[in-house]
Structure 1
């Protein structure tokens, strides 16, 4: 129990955005994705950020840290059922937790997920891979312009009236407003600009890896060529984190190529590798610590898998 002298702030009160005042909980069963978001939040200046990997840990962390925002990852492979977890938050006995702003992240965000999430009580949505700029925009939404909270018999959560397209990055929110990317760095534009060299190279690597199942004999040559091309471009652009991740990916793929039995369990690492490279594309170079964390985390994952 907390003493009466402790002031519990209204998490739904409109206030000025200051990352130093954010107390965030990152809920995700996948350690790689959880640590990545923790690092992004820290690079933005958040001083108190904690992770939770399951429902029991989630509520304990929110209560202990008196969190002011919850970022929850929505993934079909995740142990945590996001919709159920959000509904539990919105019906929690502690009013401060019940009203906490919730931002859902997902690499597979669909309109159906947005509708289901809205009805469960999620405030904002964010597609992964996401840049620090994307994360900061969602944080500003729930801090500077929080949705009114509805508490009724049929629905508990933020008001669902405000239109909020999941992929909209513009400064305003009307249909006639155009998305404005002039403030997005060159690194973030890599995924927006499909013709950017690294984006093209990564697309080629993704397609080459997909051939493992449909053309196992021809795939190795295509994969090696795609990896070499991506590394050449990354070296030319002096992107050390990208090069390191490609080297880790290459080491794993050589094992997969030479061991047919390893191919059966390779899909998760291949998907994680492509996702990691996509994430590096949208992380600006000035976020060197976050990019290094992403690269090191994938290298560690490869080492653990190769040692197993």
Structure 2
């Protein structure tokens, strides 16, 4: 299959029907969400467990094609579980694709996950669309598996620099294939790290939601310059919509984390929509703007009602 045709392909029922996926997550609710998303993708066989210890036993008979593990996967973290797989310490092939789940992630954590040998990273809450895109990368656009002294896992260079004129970095490297791809993996990693940090802050427990609102406003403002530097106009529009919502909440007690998380999910969704698909991108932004307008009007009505009372 050529590079261009693999870029255009998407998962088919024939693809997913052949897959056997193991989900490792100590949270029963989250296991259920991931399992439901996989069923909606028509995954052939599915097994779930609450710990990496149980996962090792399950793999003796189940023999999955893909492992999806939470960062906090029990006594042994999902990160260490991945390392042990790559070192052939488990009853699992060392080259099996691994998708790592996490609620939040900082840049250094993301780098550690890549060094451990994960194939794909996925922030919670998990959507069917996001999960499908990660599985497509594994099934349709698999990266070469590297087995070297200092690293074992999928090649960490997701994209090929067609303008690179220097020597190949590894003896096993193949000549680059010309492909149309404007994604910048470094920028995407930075974006995911920022969204991960803010998602965690948005879900913090606090007796006074105004503390969260103040913190979110500071973070959204602080990162707005970096978001604009990424150069994706739609991402910037989503970011401005999130700022507008927080400004609309202000010092009222009506902060709804679902609204801000909807924006962060939208940021992730935008990165998976082609830049040229203007209609789909703008539809997403319009939906968010309508949601924010509705919420702000509702907050204003509540405030007026309290004032009259």
Higher RCO, Cα 8 Å, sep 6+: 1
Q: What TM-score, normalized to structure 1?
A: 0.49
Please report the TM-score for the alignment, with normalisation by the length of structure 2.
Answer: 0.49
